[in-house]
Amino acid sequence: MKTTQTIFQDGDHKWLAIVRDPAKADFLIDTNEYLITHGGQGMLLDPGGLEIFPAVFSAVATEFDPSAISAIFASHQDPDVISSLALWLEFNPQLRCHVSWMWSGFIPHFGGVASTFAPIPDEGMTISLAGLSLQAVPAHYLHSSGNHNLYDRTAKMFFSGDIGAALLPADQQGLFVKDFSTHIRHAEGFHRRWMGSNEAKHQWCSRVSQLDIDMLCPQHGAIYQGEDVQRFINWFDSLQVGVLRA
């Protein structure tokens, strides 16, 4: 089973990280799921793959009533992001899935009906969770061609999807980045190979530098906090991506 950690809290406004499952098979890439709660409702960010649904569901249930999850935010269309959709819909058929317009015809292959999908335009949009404004921030071509991050201005929390991802060795599974220069070695190969466009990357770095962020939370690896957030953005800005051999 995964563990749930509260990484931000202000009353019932919370960010929960659902992470690290010792029982997970090695051949599945490890993922972090995040749950934002506000006003008694929940939004699950990149709920994960079909295979890990039991581990994610049970970890969520320890902290929050899964029936109160009213929305899913999918950064993009990958199976490790959203292939569990059909099972979340079994649980709550009213659930809405916010995802780039590009994938609203593709993801239904994992499940859902037309009304399940709330397409996000390329320029991003504001999404409300029980009155809390969340901003879908464009992150196209990083790595998916239709890709968004999610910014919670009130909490200063930023969900970065695959950006900032690191493939961590078994003995370095901490939830937070401790030593940036050691950590970033595990992120480098992934960013060079998975991220497709230097131009898009540069635009993203300028856009995200302007936001006030306490924690940058990727879908894989560890969370960057404080100074490490800008350190990561600077590192990423100067990295050559779209390279076949890292």
Partner 1 sequence: MTDQLPDAIVAGPKGPALDLLHIVQINEEIKSVVAVAFKINIMALNAIFLAKRAGTAALGFGVLSNELRSFSSQLRETMLSLNALIHASVDGVSAMLQDSRYNDILERAVVLASKNKHLQEVIEQRENATDQFRSKLSGLRRALRSSVDDAYRLVELGGVLAKSAKIEAAYGAGFSSSLSQVSGEFDGIVEEIRTSLDTLRKSSFFRG
Is 133 a binder of partner 1 (CB under 8 A)?
Answer: no
Name the token pair of 233.
């953005």
Residue 172 interacting partner from Fe ion, partner 1, none (CB closer than 5 to 8 Å by kind):
none
Q: Which of residues 94-123 bind partner 1 (CB under 8 A)?
A: none
Please tell me the distance from the alpha carbon of residue 159 to that of residue 65, in angstroms, as a whole number.
Answer: 22
Residue 87 interacting partner from Fe ion, partner 1, none (CB closer than 5 to 8 Å by kind):
partner 1
Shortest Å, Cβ 81 to Fe ion = 6
Q: Which residues does residue 137 pair with via DSSP β-bridges, in sequence order? A: 149
Among 5, 13, 54, 193, binds partner 1 (CB under 8 A): 54
How big is the site for partner 1, counted in residues (CB under 8 A)?
18
Is 29 a binder of partner 1 (CB under 8 A)?
Answer: no
> CB-based contacts of 145: which residues, under 8 Å, 6+ apart?
102, 196
Is 33 a binder of Fe ion (CB under 5 A)?
Answer: no
Residue 90 interacting partner from Fe ion, partner 1, none (CB closer than 5 to 8 Å by kind):
partner 1
Residue 101 interacting partner from partner 1, Fe ion, none (CB closer than 5 to 8 Å by kind):
none
> CB-based contacts of 198: which residues, under 8 Å, 6+ apart?
240, 241, 242
Which amino acid is residue 226, in one-letter code? G
Please tell me the distance from the alpha carbon of residue 168 to that of residue 62, in angstroms, as a whole number.
Answer: 26
Show the binding pattern over residues 181-220: x = contacts Fe ion (CB under 5 A), - = does not.
--------------------------------------x-
Shortest Å, Cβ 157 to Fe ion = 19
Residue closer to partner 1, measured from CB, 53 or 73: 53
The residue with its CB nearest to Fe ion is 78
Name the token pair of 89.
């819909």
Shortest Å, Cβ 25 to partner 1 = 9
Residue closer to Fe ion, measured from CB, 41 or 88: 88
Residue 99: C-alpha distances to residues 53, 96, 121, 139, 195 (Å): 19, 10, 9, 12, 19
Q: Tokens 């504001």, residue? A: 126
Is 162 a binder of Fe ion (CB under 5 A)?
Answer: yes
Please tell me the distance from the alpha carbon of residue 177 to that of residue 155, in angstroms, as a whole number.
Answer: 19
Please tell me the distance from the alpha carbon of residue 138 to that of residue 154, in angstroms, as a whole number.
Answer: 19
3-state secondary structure of 214: coil
Give contact residues for partner 1 (rule: CB under 8 A): 1, 26-27, 50-51, 53-55, 57-58, 61-62, 66-67, 86-87, 90-91
